[in-house]
Amino acid sequence: MAPAIFYFFITGARQRRASIDYLRRMWAFSGRTGRPGLWHAFRHFFAFGESLVDRFGAWIGHVDRVHVDAIDGGAFDAMRADRRGTLILSAHVGATDIVRAIASRYQDRPISVVIHSPHAAGYNKLIQRFAPKSQVKLIQAAEFDVAAAMVISQAIERGEWVVMMGDRLPVDGGRGRAIMANFLGAPAAFPQGPFVLAAALRCPVYTLFCARCEGRYQADVALLSDGEAAPRKERDAALSALVGRYAQTLEGLLQKAPYQWFNFYDYWAAIGDGGARARDGKH
């Protein structure tokens, strides 16, 4: 895998700069010594390549629950025991697909994953080809609109787990769709859609990450919201608080596994630069 990663590292100047910027912010935020440079960025790129291999390995059964720490007990068991539909907010961290693949093999709960891609149907066919017993399906939401919200709401009503990423703006980078929150010491833009939906559905909301730490993957599950509706006059404040808790949870994870966050674009750019942010995020 190293030659391919090295090629993308050499040719991806913008992604390289974004990686170094993120790592320097991470080092400063967590009080680490030194100043990340090109070698640290290459480790960041290589960690992303490893995650791609591990994700596919999980779906074809080469990675199982014995390879993942903290996948049993605590908040994870509570989430599995609750038969209500659940919204799970994840992030572009590590290989969360590992947990989804394992969950689909060990329970009868359907799992829907919302992706910002027009190729959801093709991905669903690929999953069925390599994992015909999988309970996972993908929901296409290239733009988070009313139709996508209805599909997600219906899945929750059926008692499914719905997984959404909470750390990347929609592909159009719309100004009005971002919520600002402090992240690694500076304001950053988070997508509005997942959090508005979390506040509106009145269902349990969990965070779920799976990052490689010291050669093994570790599941990280936490209750973010119990689904209680906020009074109308307090909704904006409740929404901001929800995004803030999500950002803090993600910060805590990244302090333990700084190379496991895979957003290779200028995450702290001004909201007005949303188009460039979204385009870079495709790499």
**Most confident of the following: 77-86, 111-120, 127-136, 259-268:** 259-268
**pLDDT recorded at residue 74:** 79
For residue 118, give Cα distances in angstroms to 35, 123, 129, 197, 262: 39, 10, 19, 21, 21
Average pLDDT value for residue range 118-138: 62
**Most confident of the following: 40-44, 119-123, 167-171, 276-280:** 40-44
Say how far apart CA 162 and CA 201 lie, in whole Å.
12
Please report, as a single letter, which amino acid is at residue 137: K
Q: Say if residue 270's pLDDT is above 80.
A: no
Say how far apart CA 201 and CA 161 lie, in whole Å.
13
Contact 51, 95 (CB under 8 A): yes
pLDDT, tens digit, for every residue of 82-98? Answer: 888 899 999 999 888 78
Least confident of 38-47, 91-100, 200-209: 91-100
Average pLDDT value for residue range 156-162: 89
**pLDDT recorded at residue 56:** 79
Nearest one of 260, 108, 113, 91 to 188, comparing CA atoms: 91
How confident is the prediction for the chain on average, in pLDDT?
A: 82
Where residue 27 falls (left for φ over 0; alpha for ψ -120 to 50; beta otherwise) is: alpha
**pLDDT recorded at residue 126:** 66
Residue 98: burial class (beta carbons within 10 Å; 0-12, 13-18, 19+): buried
**pLDDT recorded at residue 171:** 56
Q: How many CB atoms lie within 10 A of CB 187?
A: 11
- Top pLDDT among 120 and 143 is at 143
Question: pLDDT category, 261, cuts 50, 70, 90?
Answer: very high
**pLDDT recorded at residue 218:** 87
**pLDDT recorded at residue 130:** 62
Residue 214: HSE in the Cβ half-sphere, 13 Å Cα cutoff: 2
- Top pLDDT among 67 and 242 is at 242
**pLDDT recorded at residue 153:** 87
Question: pLDDT category, 272, cuts 50, 70, 90?
Answer: very low
SS3 per residue for 32-83: CCCCCCHHHHHHHHHHHHHHHHHHHHHHCCCCCHHHEECCCCHHHHHHHHCC
